[in-house]
Chains A and B, each alone.
Chain A
């Protein structure tokens, strides 16, 4: 079964802007799915549609096999969520705020409410601050209270929208640990973020959004494989090296001043896509052609590079 699936899910705002453009999400059961994309790429709008807060203008979505938004009242009690930051009444305590959300859940057992609330608060480390008013909470505590609200009952799926937004490094680490823990319990986690590092550390699957479109979806190793490995040669004779690489049929040869070694004047870096060629043969060909090889390497692009490649360098987000 898939925890989340959408088909051609589309949202066009009344102003005409296409916020989400025919996306087909497949979030496998038990996965930790990182929903990546720059700010404004349509992640939150997608999440709002998944939770039945916003209505799609096209396509369909299903949570745990139940169609949304029509099935909202049947399925959402099996789904915990954090959408666009925490929201609670500032004049109520953390405990009272959670009790209020629990009271709104028609399928929650009132007899176990207090126990469940305490357990959730304990899980996020807020039990000692339970009777403090929400307005006196720090940003990190507010964020954790919102996660606690998502954990009031055993959930099959947790949807977290930018859960570490605005948190300090400690807070970020706490939230990350919490997500790992939730996933270890067998709960499917769908976490959106504009930070690749965050996703890379905890996710098994990723979906990448750009300007409302899902430009990549798959497991993390699959994403890595999409990056073409390049062969890099450091040499004082770049023209000759390019000639050899071209003769071997390697695509996209490039010459750049060796950035790693500013202390080596006259040395340039020549690179090309490795493709199916064997690196040792390239090296041998270079030497045979009389190219002085100072350095030779095969490099795979970092996830960061892949991410930027998929989403653009920035400042071109949205339309």
Chain B
């Protein structure tokens, strides 16, 4: 009863902030630009060839034959930096920003309740990440449909599925990416409870993301790969095969769940026991 009211109020606040709206706008522009650039680079759309087991490069090959693939291209491109930045800003700001403004002490004196406040903050972060991810998919889908032919989708494994089936897979891909961003949001929330400086929390989350991506690309450190927070982000291409590579997919979701749980618990332990001195 009361959580929805508080949650709605915080949601309005986050989605009403100019900075956050700008982030969403930038997120929306990228798929549009990518689509136009690719359309200009390949002026003669023709039936694409299936095959290829890589992810990014394979999407590009498929795009000429089907506009739906612009969504996968956009998601995999934006997952490197843009989407993590969007989530890092909102998550890093969540508690640290309140502490910085001093509003944290008043929220707790209301009393909002420490656990409840944290839960609402996490909910808002996850919603914002979900929203950003869906914006990427939606804009990319519309752009792709406008600039490229649309029809039955030839998957990475070579099989062709109907357009509705392809769109359903797109929905799951988007949800998978949103889950990855939710896990990152939990990490951001935990970092945010450690400082009164939102910018410091945001930078820390971004450094974590980039460091994880760098380590993931060093062959000598391959053993650590599966345990990195960013390792499974691009594994959504498992959904674009017949049969779906569920093992990889579940590994990814398990990784997100473990990270969310780990950092969510850390945030809770820290936030419910620390003095608010701001």
* A binding-site residues for B, Cβ under 8 Å: 48, 51-55, 72-73, 76-77, 79, 81, 83-92, 99-101, 103-107, 110, 149
B276: nearest chain-A partner, CB-CB? A53
A-side contacts of B277, CB under 8 Å: 48, 54
A105 engages B108 (CB within 8 Å) = no
**Known interface pairs A51-B109, A72-B111. Does A87 touch B276 (Cβ–Cβ under 8 Å)?**
no
Q: Is the CB of B9 within 8 A of A100?
A: yes
CA of A178 to CA of B139, assembled, Å: 55
Q: Who on chain A is nearest to B273 by CB?
A: A55
Q: What is the predominant secondary structure among interface residues of chain A facing chain B?
A: loop
> Is A84 a contact of B107 with CB atoms below 8 Å?
no
Contact B110 A77 (CB under 8 A): yes
* Contacts of B36-57 to chain A: CB distance below 8 A: none
List B contacts of A106 (CB < 8 A).
1-3, 6, 112-113, 116
Asked if B169 is at the interface of the complex by the 8 Å CB criterion, the answer is: no
- The CB with the most chain A CB atoms within 10 A, among B1, B5, B110, B117, is that of B110
Q: Could you give 29 example pairs across A and B, Cβ below 8 Å?
A: A48-B105, A48-B275, A51-B109, A52-B109, A53-B108, A54-B275, A55-B275, A76-B109, A76-B110, A77-B110, A81-B106, A83-B105, A85-B102, A86-B102, A87-B101, A87-B102, A88-B101, A89-B13, A90-B101, A91-B18, A92-B13, A99-B9, A101-B107, A103-B5, A104-B6, A104-B110, A104-B112, A106-B113, A106-B116
> Given the complex of chains A and B, what is the CA–CA distance between A77 and B276 in angstroms?
19
Is B6's CB under 8 angstroms from A88's CB?
no
Q: How far is the CB of A110 from chain B (nearest CB, A)?
A: 5
Q: Which residues of B contact A110 (CB under 8 A)?
A: 5
Q: Convert B51-86 into 0s and 1s, putting 1 for each residue whose CB lies closer than 8 angstroms to a CB of A.
A: 000000000000000000000000000000000000
For B275, list chain A residues within 8 Å (CB). 48, 53-55
Count, chain B residues at interface, CB 8 A? 29
Given A87-B105, A100-B13, A104-B6: A54 touches B276 (CB 8 Å cut-off): yes
Q: How many A-B residue pairs have CB under 8 A?
A: 86
Q: Cα distance A52–B108 when bound, in Å?
A: 8
Q: Closest chain B residue to A105 by CB distance?
A: B110
A83/B9 in contact, CB under 8 A: no
Knowing A72-B111, A100-B13, A101-B107 are in contact, say whether A84-B276 is a contact too (CB < 8 A): no
Looking at the assembled complex, report how far the CB atom of A278 sits from the nearest CB atom of chain B, in whole angstroms. Answer: 54
A53-B275, A55-B275, A104-B9 known; A89+B108 contact, CB < 8 A? no
- Give the nearest-CB partner of A75 in chain B: B111
Within the assembled complex, what's the spacing in Å between the Cα atoms of A73 and B272? 13
* Cα(A106)–Cα(B101), bound, Å: 22
Q: Which residue of A lies closest to B3 (CB)?
A: A106
| B106–A73 touching, CB < 8 Å | no
Contact A52 B111, CB 8 Å, known A89-B101, A103-B5, A103-B6: yes
- Contact check, B106 vs A83: say whether CB atoms are below 8 A apart: yes
Q: Which residue of B lies closest to A110 (CB)?
A: B5
**B105 and A53 contacting across the interface, CB-CB below 8 Å:** yes
B92-114: contact bitstring with A at CB < 8 Å (1 yes, 0 no)? 00000000011101111111110
What's the least CB distance linking A157 to chain B, in Å? 12
A104 lies within 8 A of B276 (CB): no
Shortest distance between the CB of B42 and any CB in chain A (Å): 44
Query: Which residues on the A side are within 8 Å of B109 (C-beta)?
Result: 51-53, 76, 79, 81, 83
Q: Apart from A89-B13, A104-B110, A106-B3, what are 19 other A-B pairs with CB-CB below 8 Å?
A: A48-B105, A53-B105, A54-B275, A55-B273, A72-B108, A72-B111, A76-B109, A76-B110, A79-B109, A83-B105, A84-B105, A85-B102, A100-B9, A104-B6, A105-B112, A106-B1, A106-B112, A106-B113, A106-B116
Q: Which chain A residues border B6 with CB–CB below 8 Å?
A: 103-104, 106
Which 6 pairs across A and B sit closest by C-beta, in order of nearness? A87-B102, A106-B2, A103-B9, A76-B111, A104-B112, A54-B275
Report A-chain residues with C-beta under 8 Å of the C-beta of B113: 72-73, 106
Which A-chain residue is minimally distant from B104 (CB atoms)?
Answer: A87
Assess whether B5 is in contact with A149, with CB atoms less than 8 Å apart. no
